[in-house]
């Protein structure tokens, strides 16, 4: 989708994005993936450190990850045709690390919103597998990076109704 311009406004994208667990079999093309990851570059981050790292899993890496996951975990990795491991580069400063982790989470959500705006489906998982030695090794995640999420992307096989959300008054406090 080179030069794609989404035809959905931000509020609509935020309110209509859903977590999907049923995807078509066709993986996203390299250009589609790069366009989504290019959007992530616009996530706010202190000092423009761009701390996020995206690892798009190919067949060999996916095979190794499934092996590390075992039969039950491997089945969950087959849900979507495109998987992206998101991690954050850590440094010596704990405050900068915290800011960078938040920025990486925002970058991940931007990928999901960009995918949704293009009519694609997404699912953000945080499986313990990618915090384990075996899972980290399978995807080449070094000790200097913290696992943030596993993004499942593809074409949706079903429409999803919006779930109920808590009212804003439940989560908001105005302070004097």
All structural domains of the chain with their residue ranges: 23-156
Contact 111, 40 (CB under 8 A): yes
pLDDT tens profile 45-62: 988 999 999 999 999 999
Phi-psi region of 116 (alpha: psi -120 to 50; beta: other; left: phi over 0): alpha
Asked if residues 77 and 66 have their Cβ atoms less than 8 Å apart, the reply is yes
The answer to whether residues 129 and 69 touch, using CB atoms and an 8 Å cutoff, is yes
**pLDDT tens digits, 80-139:** 999 999 999 999 999 999 999 999 999 999 999 999 999 999 999 999 999 999 999 999
pTM: 0.90
Total length of the chain: 176
Q: CATH: 3.40.50.620, 3.50.50.60, 3.30.70.940, 3.40.109.10. Which one for 23-156?
A: 3.40.109.10
Identify the three-state secondary structure at position 92: coil
Q: How buried is 123 (Cβ within 10 angstroms: 0-12 exposed, 13-18 middle, 19+ buried)?
A: buried
Residue 70, φ and ψ in degrees, nearest 5:
80, 170
């Amino acid at each position: 989708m080179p030069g794609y311009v989404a035809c959905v406004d931000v509020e609509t994208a935020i309110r209509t994005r859903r977590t999907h667990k049923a995807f078509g079999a066709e993986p996203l093309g390299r250009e589609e993936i790069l366009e989504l990851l290019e959007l992530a570059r616009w996530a706010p981050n202190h000092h423009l450190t761009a701390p996020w790292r995206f690892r798009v899993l190919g067949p060999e890496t996916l095979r190794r990850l499934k092996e590390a996951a075992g039969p039950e975990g491997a089945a969950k990795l087959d849900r979507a045709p495109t998987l992206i491991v998101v991690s954050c580069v850590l440094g010596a400063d704990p405050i900068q690390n915290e800011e960078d982790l938040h920025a990486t989470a925002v970058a991940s959500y931007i990928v999901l919103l960009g995918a949704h705006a293009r009519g694609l489906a997404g699912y953000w998982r945080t499986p313990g597998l990618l915090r384990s030695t075996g899972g980290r090794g399978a995807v080449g995640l070094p000790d200097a990076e913290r696992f943030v999420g596993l993004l499942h992307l593809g074409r949706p096989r079903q429409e999803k109704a919006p779930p109920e959300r808590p009212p804003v008054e439940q989560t908001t406090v105005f302070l004097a």
